[in-house]
A and B are shown apart, each in its own frame.
Chain A
Amino acid sequence: MKKTILLIALLVVLAAALAPAQKATLVLWHSYSGVRQQLFDSLIKEFNKANPAINVKPEYGGSLWSMRDKLLTAIAGGAGPHLAEIDSYWTPIFAKPGSLVNLEPYIAADARFNKADLARASLQSTQYQGASYSVPFNLSTIVMYYNKALYKTAALDPARAPADWSELVSFCQKLTVDKNGDGTPDQRGLTFPNKANMGAVWYWLAFFFQQEGKLFNDALNAGAFNSAAGLAATDLWRQLAREGLMSMSSGSADFEAELAAMELSSSSVMGRYRDNMGNARFGLAALPKGKVSATVTGGGNLAMFSSCPDKKAGWAVLSWLNSTQVNKRWALSTGSIPVRQSVLGTPEYSDYLMSDPKGNAMIATLQDAFIRPNIPEYGDASRIIAFAVEEAMINDQDPKPLLDKAKAEVDALFKK
């Protein structure tokens, strides 16, 4: 009897001793490797140090694209992470079935989290049906890179990228050169990274938005892209393709290799071009203007999954990673666009902007940035639109019937 009491007492003491050390361990999947992973890990280490009750475990989950499949599988198998970086346009995919935690209550209760400070487009990308389900972290837009040396050779002003669509075409015509006279140009005016599983829609959307186009109707239950805007954007691409001004190959290295004089690409690759080409050799500018200026955002948001055992702790992590101080450091080291406007005003970031006109041009694009519509149907719809645009471009066909057909297919998606 005595022994039992002693044992119980011992256990109680032991439990009491262990209790404060019992940490909430939160697993966070991200898409960073190499130097970015080192930076991300060191940020998390700092957080863990400052918050002894929380232990965040960062884990590499693949590129954002393959991480989606990993997330789906893991969540179905009950082994998903508590927090993860997701491609900003997947918020509805995970929010709709209830996999993500609605962050509104946590935002409301967190005095340090200033929602109004978030850049407009990055705030929009967190929304599903009017509520925030993620916080922005790594932000990019589509920008225009241009090769100053090739501009000079073509007698173009190396301080200026094409301002509007007609200039885009005329610049491309001047920059498309058949050097060895075999009838095929060796240098193209324009390229964009047409990667296998991303397709061209992301880039096409920017031109579509420049004509004030709307992908869906206001009730968000039917396609609306077979409009004048859709036709104009597709016709521009069609012309670039027909005249051989745009390189249609995978082209992921065409710009670096100076086989294309201009590239539509994510602002996030600026660092790579700086390293590989030299800062003076290329320029960065906003996309040429249509009726209005427009670009499209991309990047990764951070989200909390419903499986998170300690949601307060989870929110603390998200809020901290999104804070001005942390976001400033992330933006300065990675070239990501700051998701908080207050970052721009910090001395370090102002210094950076003063020293780098490219940084300024990059930040400026954010004012005209659109997001991809936050509805679950967007993904499938974008695939259908991509086929129509591609067909018009490659077969040099009138886009009208193709976009009409695509609209009918997209309308069917909403009826499912």
Chain B
Amino acid sequence: MRFRDYLRSPLRRGDLSTGIICLLPSLAVIGVFVVFPIFFSLYLSFHKWAILTPEKPFVGLANYARMFSSPEFWECLGNTFLYTVGVVLPGAAASLGLALLLDRTAAGSGFFRTAFFLPTITSIIAIAVVWLWVYDDANGLANMLLRLVGLKPVRWLTSPKTSLLSLIIMTVWKNAGYHMVVFLAGLQAIPPSLHEAATIDGASPRQRFRYVTWPLLAPTTVFVLVTNTIFTFQVFGPIYVMTGGGPVRSTSVIVYYLYQRAFEFQEMGYASAVAWVIFLILIALTVLQMRLARKREQVW
């Protein structure tokens, strides 16, 4: 016991040198290409920068003050939260469901996996071409199907009431296969012996999921929730290529807002301030998710 404590003691010299060697390549790349841009954007958030001129006058907290008093900022933030909740939770459930279905299926599982994964490997620009047709008011696939079963057509992307939901549905569809693969890799890392042991002990499939799969899958679940939140909150592609934030700002999300301010109107300082608020929100969400996970299982 004491030997093991020694092995895990913080100052084990071998660990330190191994740690440095192992982290060096990553830190070098990230240090050169990521750290400076990030701090530069922090610096910019207290300055005004029109991009085309080198002058960057200091404006203190003016960018932040302007942001918090801008109704549009809050509207975009609200849309982003709705979108994120709508995508992350149902998305994770859908992906886990697909993974569990496929984990047990022997015949044809390769085919189904590929089918579910197809939307993930396709770029959003190509996806948009297809989904603009799916969502077309008059002749789109979605409304064709609705009419087929006798329902009234929906104005998917042309009504502010449904446009965000339409994008959520598309995103869940697009990303389901992505997280399914991650869940599958996680499921397959669980030693089959544990399931066998549980079966021998008379556990029902539901109990096996609750007491074997779910706890052992926890690190994967945390990973999916955390990364999906981080990426979904920063959604940009579908809005850029499909809606431009409309109709009537209903799909105006925060990163699209930031992009418009930065590039369309050359307010890079203001956009950087928005970016840092996004950063703080994401840090808070990440820590929260990890805390919740840590309370339940020892994964953190």
Interface of A with B (CB < 8 Å)? 68-69, 72, 75-76, 93-94, 97-99, 182, 184-186, 188, 195-199, 247-250, 259, 379-380, 383, 386-387, 390-391, 394-395
Contacts and interface: CB of A to CB of B under 8 A. Distances in A.
Contact of B147 (A68, A182, A250): A182
Interface stretch (B17-25, B50-58, B91-99): B50-58
Contacts of B51: 72, 75-76
A186 B53 contact: no
Contact of A390 (B140, B155, B246, B264): B246
B159 A394 contact: yes
Contacts of B265: 379-380
Given A249-B157, A250-B136, A380-B265, A99 B52 contact: yes
Contacts of A199: 244, 246
Given A69-B263, A97-B53, 13 more contacts: A72-B266, A97-B50, A99-B52, A184-B153, A196-B242, A247-B137, A247-B138, A248-B158, A249-B136, A249-B137, A250-B157, A250-B242, A259-B139
Interface string B257-283: 000100111100000000000000000
Contacts of B43: none
Interface residues of B, number: 34
Given A94-B52, A184-B153, A250-B136, A196 B159 contact: no
Contacts of B77: none
A186 B140 CA distance: 11
A186 B139 contact: yes
Contacts of B172: none
Interface string B219-249: 0000000000000000000011111101111
A197 B50 contact: no
A199 B139 CA distance: 21
A394 B158 contact: yes
A75 B268 CA distance: 14
B80 to A, nearest CB: 18
Contacts of B143: 184
B244 A76 contact: no
A248 B155 contact: yes
Nearest to A386: B246
B160 interface: yes
Given A182-B147, A379-B264, A391 B50 contact: no
A249 B50 contact: no
A390 B155 CA distance: 15
A391 B137 CA distance: 18
Instruction: Output the residue of A250, A383, A387, A395 with the most chain B CB within 10 A.
Output: A250
B159 to A, nearest CB: 7
Q: What are the 4 closest A-B residue pairs judged by CB atoms, nearest first?
A: A97-B52, A196-B244, A248-B158, A97-B53
Contacts of A395: 160, 248
Contacts of A75: 51-52
Contacts of A387: 246, 248-249
Interface in B126-162: 132, 135-140, 143, 147, 153, 155, 157-160
A75 B136 CA distance: 39
Given A186-B139, A196-B242, A379-B264, A394 B52 contact: no
